[in-house]
């Protein structure tokens, strides 16, 4: 019992540290996983932490959810388009890496060729978690991110199969080329087929269920179950998880409700964050710093061999794949070469070396940790400057101009609010306020006009802002429903229906800015409405039929509702006695015909004119 409580306390402490690190890296602008490793190193130096990072812990507990989540969210259509370069890098690339690293180390260190090949297999798999996170942050081209992530997913399985084959040769001293090739194909292909079958079965089962808790549980069972079953059948567990994740990510969501898709995505995103946090923190805690210092020469050779092998694989094989599919640009090759980080899988393989391997066992472990630390502390931290220097992510001058204008407007409005509050508190006299207020309003209007001007020049900026605001509105609605359920204002059944409506609109993305189901519209609007209700913004022009008229004085079309109007910085919910003025921006709801007729009342020189009620 005491051992259990000690372990539980340690896990909670590690999660707390991981959370604090995650908060800190937002300001430091360094990859989160790198920061975790550094913190782990500092903790190791400060205290005698006794944490054993076993291969079973990494391979059976940590690897399946990481691989499954990445495969689940990978776009299968885009993966098919880029399958040729990914497969070339993940299969021949891994084999070539093993051979180059093994050959160089057999010359530069005390390792014999077979032992050096084992290390080559250990270090052949890439683990670009830090790079992928950075890609998402910087917004690199999607194809480049797919190449890096797709290669990592597939080469994990290849490296694991290759490691087991080479390790058997090292331990027995026997090598049969045809038998090794057959075993490689059997283990790899068996894992893929098993994963595809299990993924298809679970996807079909999910399509028949409408309970997100059960569906999340089934995907969890699939992630771990496919790995365990494949290993039990002597197939590749990692490739089984990859295949299961890909097929479930492609077929599974088709049978899920919008709520399930959102909850499932959030669940696996959290699991990935949790596992990555523990893995990289434990890597830092597991490092034996004195051993690294004592073995600095073979570690340097290993780092050099890995970098050289990566360069040969990327620049050499990319030239070949360029003849089969869309070529990879030279700038992208630089990123792929420098982005070949090593992480959890390489360390798990190094830790799994059996005692029978002999005295070189500890040296290979130390070299693996040395290479992993170099890739995380040097390559990962310099990836962002490299991407910027290569101009893979370019800064749009219009976007910068828009942000500058918007920031100035928001800052001035904030200052206006602050000064007005001080005036109301009696800290600024009325004469001073009366002199300041018109100037502030005038300059705020000018800045607002400058923002509108750039939005007219570059409509995509407004579209992005509208989409962000739209999602925020929908999320706020969902949070309000959650509060109503907690307060007992609505039942669980009503909450499920309302939240499903919001989730369905969130899933659509873009489209008309409509936030409530059509069935909730007023009877006079939905009665006889043609097609789907739409939302439009209509500007009242000077001299228009409705200019300076009350809302109730206008005979608006039958299926037309003014939801709100914007007058300067004010948002007004109009009533019948609300007066409309030139410059007002009406947010109107109706079908296409009604909106077209309503727009006529807001245009100058409209011949139909208002009719008195």
In the numeric block, the tokens 């913190």 are attached to 39
pLDDT at 384 > cutoff 60 = yes
Nearest Cα residue to 325 out of 597, 87, 58, 22: 87
| Measured distance between the N- and C-terminal CA atoms of the chain, rounded to whole angstroms | 82
Nearest Cα residue to 150 out of 132, 175, 170: 132
Farthest-apart Cα atoms in the chain, separation: 101
Average pLDDT on 206-216 reads 86
Q: For 70-98, b where at least 16 C-beta lie within 10 A, e where not — what string?
A: bbbebeeeebeebebbbbbbbbebbbbbb
Q: Which residue has the higher pLDDT, 508 or 104?
A: 104
Angle at CA 488, nearest 5°, toward 483 and 492? 85
The mean pLDDT value of the chain amounts to 82
State the Cα–Cα distance between residues 36 and 280, nearest whole angstrom.
6
pLDDT at 497 > cutoff 70 = yes
CB 183 within 8 A of CB 164: no
Cα atoms found within 13 Å of the Cα of residue 58, Cβ hemisphere only: 22
State the Cα–Cα distance between residues 114 and 106, nearest whole angstrom.
8
Q: For 425-437, b where at least 16 C-beta lie within 10 A, e where not — what string?
A: eeeeeeeeeeebe
506 CA to centre of own chain: 17
State the Cα–Cα distance between residues 194 and 243, nearest whole angstrom.
8
Average pLDDT on 497-524 reads 64
pLDDT band at 78 (very low <50, low <70, confident <90, very high): confident
Nearest Cα residue to 513 out of 495, 498, 535: 535
CATH homologous superfamily of 525-601 equals Regulator of K+ conductance, C-terminal domain (3.30.70.1450)
pLDDT at 302 > cutoff 90 = yes
CB 352 within 8 A of CB 55: yes
- Indicate the pairing of strand 534-539 with strand 570-572: unpaired
State the Cα–Cα distance between residues 432 and 541, nearest whole angstrom.
35
CB 219 within 8 A of CB 202: yes
Model pTM score: 0.69
- Indicate the pairing of strand 585-590 with strand 534-539: antiparallel
pLDDT at 386 > cutoff 80 = yes
Nearest Cα residue to 91 out of 133, 137, 154, 136: 154
pLDDT band at 530 (very low <50, low <70, confident <90, very high): very low
Q: Which residue has the higher pLDDT, 276 or 579?
A: 579
pLDDT at 308: 95
Residues 6+ apart with CB under 8 A from 524: 558, 559
Any bridge partners for residue 572, and if so which? 565
The one-character DSSP state at 588 is E
Q: Which region among 40-54, 205-219, 237-251, 423-437 has the lowest average model confidence (pLDDT)?
A: 40-54
pLDDT at 612 > cutoff 50 = no
Q: Which region among 338-342, 463-467, 529-533, 536-540 has the lowest average model confidence (pLDDT)?
A: 529-533
pLDDT digits (tens, 9 = 90+) for 13-72: 888 888 888 888 777 667 777 788 888 777 766 655 555 656 666 778 888 888 898 888
Find which of 100-109, 282-291, 315-324 is predicted with most confidence, using mean pLDDT: 100-109
CB 379 within 8 A of CB 339: yes
pLDDT at 529: 47
Nearest Cα residue to 348 out of 237, 242, 234: 237
State the Cα–Cα distance between residues 236 and 185, nearest whole angstrom.
10
pLDDT digits (tens, 9 = 90+) for 569-605: 677 878 788 888 888 888 887 778 888 888 888 887 6
Residues 6+ apart with CB under 8 A from 452: none
Nearest Cα residue to 419 out of 436, 407, 406, 431: 436
pLDDT at 1 > cutoff 80 = no
Contacts of residues 514-521 at CB distance under 8 Å and 24 or more positions apart, as own/partner, are 514/589, 515/470, 515/473, 515/474, 515/477, 521/561, 521/589
State the Cα–Cα distance between residues 376 and 373, nearest whole angstrom.
5
pLDDT at 305 > cutoff 90 = yes
pLDDT at 285 > cutoff 90 = no
Count CB-CB contacts under 10 A for residue 134: 23
State the Cα–Cα distance between residues 147 and 89, nearest whole angstrom.
9
pLDDT at 106: 92
Residues 6+ apart with CB under 8 A from 171: 354, 356, 357
pLDDT at 315: 92
Angle at CA 520, nearest 5°, toward 519 and 524? 85
What are the structural domain ranges in the chain? 2-46+53-389, 397-508, 525-601
Which pair of structure tokens corresponds to residue 260?
Answer: 């399930």
3-state secondary structure 325-358: CCCCCHHHHHHHHHCCCCCHHHHHHHHCCCHHHC
Which pair of structure tokens corresponds to residue 609?
Answer: 């004119």
State the Cα–Cα distance between residues 246 and 225, nearest whole angstrom.
15
State the Cα–Cα distance between residues 225 and 223, nearest whole angstrom.
6
CB 574 within 8 A of CB 565: yes
pLDDT at 613: 39
Which pair of structure tokens corresponds to residue 376?
Answer: 């995380």
CATH, range 2-46+53-389 = 1.20.1530.20
Share of the chain above pLDDT 90, in %: 16
pLDDT at 304 > cutoff 90 = yes
Phi, psi of 565 (to 5 degrees): -135, 145
Find which of 52-61, 207-216, 509-518 is predicted with most confidence, using mean pLDDT: 207-216
Share of the chain above pLDDT 70, in %: 89
Q: Which residue has the higher pLDDT, 287 or 61?
A: 61
pLDDT band at 394 (very low <50, low <70, confident <90, very high): low
Which pair of structure tokens corresponds to residue 443?
Answer: 């300059």
- Burial of 227 by CB count in 10 Å (0-12 exposed, 13-18 middle, 19+ buried)? buried
Nearest Cα residue to 586 out of 611, 551, 559: 551
């Amino acid at each position: 019992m005491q051992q259990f409580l000690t372990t539980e306390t340690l896990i909670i402490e590690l999660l707390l540290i991981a959370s604090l690190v995650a908060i800190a890296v937002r300001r430091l602008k360094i990859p989160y996983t790198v920061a975790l490793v550094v913190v782990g190193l500092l903790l190791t130096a400060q205290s005698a932490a006794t944490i054993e990072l076993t291969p079973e812990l990494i391979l059976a507990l940590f690897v399946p959810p990481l691989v499954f989540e990445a495969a689940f969210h990978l776009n299968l259509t885009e993966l098919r388009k880029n399958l040729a370069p990914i497969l070339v890098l993940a299969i021949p690339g891994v084999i070539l890496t093993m051979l180059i690293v093994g050959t160089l180390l057999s010359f530069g260190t005390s390792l014999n060729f077979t032992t050096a090949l084992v290390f080559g297999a250990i270090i052949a798999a890439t683990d670009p978690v830090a790079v992928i996170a950075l890609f998402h942050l910087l917004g690199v081209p999607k194809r480049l991110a797919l190449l890096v992530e797709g290669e990592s997913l597939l080469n994990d399985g290849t490296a694991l199969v290759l490691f087991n084959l080479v390790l058997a040769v090292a331990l027995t001293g026997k090598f049969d080329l045809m038998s090794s090739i057959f075993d490689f194909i059997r283990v790899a292909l068996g894992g893929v087929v098993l994963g595809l079958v299990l993924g298809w079965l679970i996807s079909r089962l999910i399509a028949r269920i409408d309970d997100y808790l059960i569906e999340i549980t089934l995907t969890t069972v699939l992630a771990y179950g496919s790995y365990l079953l494949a290993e039990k059948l002597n197939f590749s567990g990692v490739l089984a998880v990859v295949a299961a994740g890909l097929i479930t990510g492609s077929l599974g969501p088709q049978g899920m409700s919008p709520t399930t898709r959102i909850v499932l995505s959030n669940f696996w995103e959290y699991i990935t964050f949790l596992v990555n946090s523990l893995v990289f923190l434990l890597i830092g805690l597991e490092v034996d710093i004195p051993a690294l210092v004592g073995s600095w020469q073979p570690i340097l050779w290993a780092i050099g061999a890995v970098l050289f092998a990566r360069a040969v694989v990327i620049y050499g094989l990319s030239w070949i794949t360029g003849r089969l599919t869309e070529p990879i640009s030279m700038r992208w090759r630089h990123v792929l070469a420098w982005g070949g980080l090593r992480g959890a899988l390489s360390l798990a393989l190094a830790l799994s070396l059996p005692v029978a391997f002999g005295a070189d066992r500890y040296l290979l472990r130390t070299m693996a940790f040395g290479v992993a630390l170099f890739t995380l502390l040097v390559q990962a931290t310099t990836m962002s400057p490299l991407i910027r220097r290569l101009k893979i992510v370019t800064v749009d001058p219009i976007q910068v101009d828009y942000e500058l204008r918007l920031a100035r407007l928001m800052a001035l409005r904030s200052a206006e609010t602050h000064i007005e509050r001080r005036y109301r508190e009696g800290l600024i006299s009325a004469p001073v306020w009366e002199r300041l207020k018109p100037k502030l309003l005038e300059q705020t209007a000018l800045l607002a006009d400058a923002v509108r001007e750039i939005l007219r020049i570059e409509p995509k900026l407004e579209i992005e802002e509208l989409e962000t605001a739209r999602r925020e509105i929908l999320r706020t609605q969902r949070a309000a429903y959650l509060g109503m359920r907690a307060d007992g204002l609505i039942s669980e059944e009503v909450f499920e229906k309302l939240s499903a409506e919001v989730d369905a609109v969130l899933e659509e993305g873009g489209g008309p800015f409509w936030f409530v189901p059509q069935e909730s519209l007023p009877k006079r609007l939905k009665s006889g409405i043609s097609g789907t209700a739409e939302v439009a913004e209509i500007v009242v022009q000077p001299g228009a039929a409705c200019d300076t008229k009350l809302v109730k004085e206008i005979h608006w079309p039958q299926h037309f509702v003014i939801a709100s109007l914007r007058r300067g910085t004010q948002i007004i919910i109009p009533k019948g006695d609300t007066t409309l003025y030139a410059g007002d921006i009406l947010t109107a709801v109706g079908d296409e015909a009604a909106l077209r007729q309503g727009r006529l009342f807001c245009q100058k020189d409209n011949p139909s004119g208002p009719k008195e009620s």
